[in-house]
Structure formats: C-alpha cells, structure tokens
Amino acid sequence: MTMIRRNFLAAAATGAALAAPSVVTAQNRTFNWKMTNAYGPGSPFYVQGPGSPTDFCKKVEEMSGGRLRIQHFAAGELIPALEGFDAVAKGQVEMNAANAFFWAGKVPAAQYFTTVPFGMNTHGMNAWLYHGGGLQLWHELYSPLGLIAFPMGNTGVQMTGWFRNPVNTVADLNGLKMRVPGLAGKVYAELGVAVRLLPGGEIFPALERGVIDAAEFVGPFQDRRLGLHRAAKNYYTTGWHEPTNVTELLINKRAWESLPKDLQTIVQTAAQACNSESHAWSESVNADALTDLVTNFGVKAAPLPEPIVKRLKEVTADTLEAGAKADPATRKVHDSFMAFKKKHDSWAGLSERTFLSL
C-alpha cells in the first residue's frame, strides 16, 4: 500500500507539472478579431477620434498587451453599412459598431438601448444602463440570438434636424419625406411623414436632390461635416427625438465566452472609457460648429414651435405604448426604462434643472 501511494503521488506530481504550461499558454493566447461599422471611413466619433471605435480597438490592444487585437472595417470596407448585426450573429466577424435602433425590424426592443423620444438624457441613460438593470436587459434580449452588447459611445442630445422649408405647424409635417431612424421615425409617421432610413453617407445627396425634404443626423459638428447646411438652411432643435444616443458595441456571444475573464474586463473597461470620452468630445465641439453654421453659412437655427413639440409628445406616448403592447420583450424593457426615468426625473428636477434655470 505504501508503494502504491508513493507511485500515485509521483504520477500526480508529474501530471501537475505537465499541466502547468497549458494553463500559462491559455492565459497568453492571442486573439485576432474583426470589427465592422455602420458608418463610413473617416467619420469623426463614429469611426475615428477620441472615444471612437478605432480608439476602442487601440485601447483594447494596449491594455491587453497585444493579446486581443481588433481589426476595424468602416462601412463598405468589408460589408455594407447596415449588415453588421447579421454578420456578428453568424460569426462572420466578432464585433460591430452601430446603433441598436438600426435593428428595429429584427428586435423592436433594441431601440430603447439607443434612445427614446422624450426619454432620458445621457446622465439618466448611463445610470439606467450601468446601475438600473438596463445592461442586464440588453444582454437578456440578445442572448437567444447569440449576441451580447455594451455601450461604447454617446453623442449626447441631438438636433431635430434640417428642413428645406420652414416648419411652423403640425400640418407642415404631413407629406414630408424625412431621413430619421428609430422610435422617432414611428412618431413622425403617425403625423404623415414618409420616413426614410439612410446611412450617413447617403443623407446629403438625397437632401440636395430633393429625394427627401428633411433629415436628422447628429448635431452641428457632425452635420456640418456631411455638408447638410448646403442642402437645407432651416435647422431645428429641442432634442425631443434623441435626448441621448448610444453607440452599440455588438459582440458574438461564443467569441465573447472564449475570452479569458481578464480580457472580458478589458473590453468592458475600454468600452466604458469610450462611452465617456466620446460624449465629452461631442460636447466640446458643437458650440463652435453651430456658431460657424449660423454666422458664415446663413443657417437659421431655432427651436421647433411649441405646438409641434406638444403634439409630438402626445403621439410619442401613444406610439411607445402601442409598441409595448405588441411585443412582450419590448414591454419588459419599456417598463424598466420608464420606471427608472420617473425616479431619475425626480432627482434631475431638483438638481440639473434647478441649476440650469439660474
């Protein structure tokens, strides 16, 4: 028995010694991934610059010491602009950068993870996602599709958009052809707007040629870059349709689960850093761009007339409720979002709103 015990211990020690290098190899494994993007080459914020997807890829590689390298492809470089969702789901690429509301036709509830008309601002949205159960709901929604997602950027509040002709009454919306995505598009449609979903690079030529009568994109800096001010001069605001706008980092779930825990943490940390940094960058550039548009290009910037905003708010409430009734997953996300919004509004009313009114 003593001899058997000694032989067993010796074999166990040998096995452990042989196993040790495999553990080290697993921890040092290098991953080479691909990320596609819904936006075209050179786009500030959406492709390059502080807090952008290419900046995210750089951060991940540097933080991981090169163990996770992500090759980025802008729209059209590997796949068309709005095919990233299917490409990631099928495992053709590991990641995609876009906005979740582009997938409304596949997953209606996904729209809530980009923005909600008359919903929460960026502070509230981040609070809901990170600490109010929003991120868990996002994962729950995508899990059956073999996907996982994280917020990776935010433009902050956006402009209502560019209109070839002035909009003075609700009746002026009826019959307009407008580029606008997401839940806001459904609201406009209820008021007679013919809604178009176009990638960023196609907006200016469509607006210039009169294929569309109006378009929203982001805000002064991004809109000026697209040249939208050369196709329309009436620039309206309120931010009713997009009080915030989240960039989605979409990841194939099997690929995600293949990463060691430390690399998963690096991905999440880099995404959260880009979410904060991209918003800060956006806030830093829009004021000068708006001044330039008004001063040097004859743009007429003004808020939407109050009666129009009031009607839009009424239709939004009905549209959101109808969507929630039609789909159990949307109902679950909607109720969570609105419950958190009610709580956040009570605080913001005492803090931010009071301060801004001084």
Instruction: Give the residue among 222, 206, 183 at the shortest CA–CA distance from 47.
Output: 222
Successive 10-residue mean pLDDT values, the chain, 358 residues: 43 43 62 97 95 98 98 97 96 98 95 97 97 98 98 97 97 96 94 92 94 96 96 95 97 98 98 98 97 98 96 97 97 98 91 74
Place of tokens 């806001």: 184
- How far is the C-alpha of 247 from the C-alpha of 273, rounded, in Å? 13
Phi-psi region of 251 (alpha: psi -120 to 50; beta: other; left: phi over 0): beta
User: pTM score, two decimals?
Assistant: 0.89
Q: Per-residue DSSP letters for 284-323?
A: HHHHHHHHHHHHHH--EEEEPPHHHHHHHHHHHHHHHHHH
Q: How buried is 201 (Cβ within 10 angstroms: 0-12 exposed, 13-18 middle, 19+ buried)? A: middle
Q: How far apart are CA 25 and CA 122, in angstroms?
A: 42
- Rounded to whole angstroms, the Cα distance separating 141 from 296 reads 46
Q: In angstroms, rounded to a whole number, what is the distance separating the alpha carbons of residues 323 and 331?
A: 8
pLDDT at 27: 67
Q: Which burial class, exposed, middle or buried, applies to 14 when counting CB atoms under 10 A from its CB (0-12, 13-18, 19+)?
A: exposed
How many DSSP H helices and E strands does the chain contain?
Answer: 13, 11
What pLDDT is recorded for position 265? 98
Spatial CA neighbour of 248 closest among 218, 266, 274, 220: 274
The amino acid that residue 196 corresponds to is R
Residue 104 neighbours by CB distance under 10 Å: 19
Dihedral of CA atoms 193, 196, 200, 205 in degrees, nearest 10, equals -90
Tokens 């459904």 -> residue: 186
pLDDT at residue 135 in the model:
98
Please tell me the distance from the alpha carbon of residue 298 to that of residue 10, in angstroms, as a whole number: 85
pLDDT of amino acid 354 = 73
Q: Token pair for residue 122?
A: 């960026």
Tell me the C-alpha distance between 223 and 172, whole Å.
23
SS3 264: helix
* C-beta of residue 95 within 8 angstroms of C-beta of residue 249: yes
Handedness of CA 229, 189, 46, 273 (dihedral sign): positive
8-state DSSP, 61? H
Q: In whole angstroms, what is the distance from residue 183 CA to residue 225 CA?
A: 25
Sequence length of the chain is 358
All residues at 6 or more sequence positions from 110 whose CB lies less than 8 Å from its CB, including other chains: 100, 101, 103, 104, 141, 142
Structure tokens of 68? 């996770």
CB 200 within 8 A of CB 194: no
